Amino acid sequence: MLSVAKVQTRNAWRYYERGVAFGDGRRPVGQSLKDAQEMVNLPPGRWSGRGLDALGLIEGAEVSERQMGLVFEQGRHPDADRIERDLLDDGADRATARRATVLGQPIEEIEARKQTPLLALDFTFQPQASLIVLWALGDARTRRIIERAIAKVLRWLEDEVAETRWSSGRGRAKTPALVVAAFRHLDNRDGFPLLHDHCPSATGRACRRP
């Protein structure tokens, strides 16, 4: 089963930073994401999607908390801190250096027009109950086969579905790339086995430089 939710406000994104990336729990204030994931024995988020090449990210690399916030909350390059620092060292003014790290249209400009920017789409993958039982009780090979289905659906979304839009939706174009931060959860909020992956994703806006 695949469900899709829009992430359209920065408060909503903070829910992902503090909860979803921590296995639908509630991360203590001041605790790093990496430490929190290790504490509850959760795998770290992993980068996926064809849009990674344009951003200098590697498929399967660990998602850092800073990268996640830059890409999905601020609409900026995941390495924005270094890019901005290098430009400032070369003599660029602060506004120019920051603008160079923005992916697509600046979120601040969208908000200034009293419009709501789309920060990300959360694709949540959950196998049917029988497959969850098979995954929980199966051997390593069986688990890998079930888990690969998520990667295949993401590729299908890039091939057939993903598009970018502008001018309040009046302009649309197919985009062959997504930037995905995939977080695997092994149980539900009550602690019962429930394999599912949250995959916050950015489309062409975050994959192509302006």
Q: pTM for the whole thing?
A: 0.78
Q: Are strands 46-48 and 120-125 parallel, antiparallel or unpaired?
A: unpaired
Residue 99, pLDDT above cutoff 70 = yes
The per-residue pLDDT for range 118-140, each reduced to its tens digit, is 888 888 888 888 888 888 888 99
Counted domains in the chain:
1
Residue 12, pLDDT above cutoff 80 = no
Q: Please list, in sequence order, all residues whose beta carbon lies within 8 angstroms of the beta carbon of residue 208, skipping any fewer than 6 positions away.
A: 54, 103, 104, 164, 175
| Cα 16 to Cα 159: distance, rounded to the nearest angstrom | 26
Residue 205 pLDDT grade (very low, low, confident, very high; cuts 50, 70, 90): very low
**Which range marks the domain in which residue 151 is found?**
2-207
Residue 81, pLDDT above cutoff 80 = yes
Alpha helices (runs of H) in the chain, residue ranges in sequence order: 10-18, 33-39, 52-55, 65-68, 80-89, 94-99, 107-112, 129-137, 140-156, 204-207
Q: What is the pLDDT, as a whole number, of residue 207?
A: 41
The per-residue pLDDT for range 133-174, each reduced to its tens digit, is 888 888 999 888 888 888 888 888 888 887 776 665 576 777
Six-digit token string for 174 = 């197919």
Span 37-59, average pLDDT: 84
For residues 80 and 118, the model is more confident at 80
Residue 75, pLDDT above cutoff 50 = yes
- The pLDDT mean for the chain works out to 81
Q: What is the pLDDT, as a whole number, of residue 167?
A: 62
Q: Are the CB atoms for 165 and 31 separated by under 8 Å?
A: no
Q: What is the pLDDT, as a whole number, of residue 100?
A: 93
Residue 74, pLDDT above cutoff 70 = yes
Residue 206, pLDDT above cutoff 60 = no
Residue 84, pLDDT above cutoff 90 = yes
Residue 82, pLDDT above cutoff 90 = yes
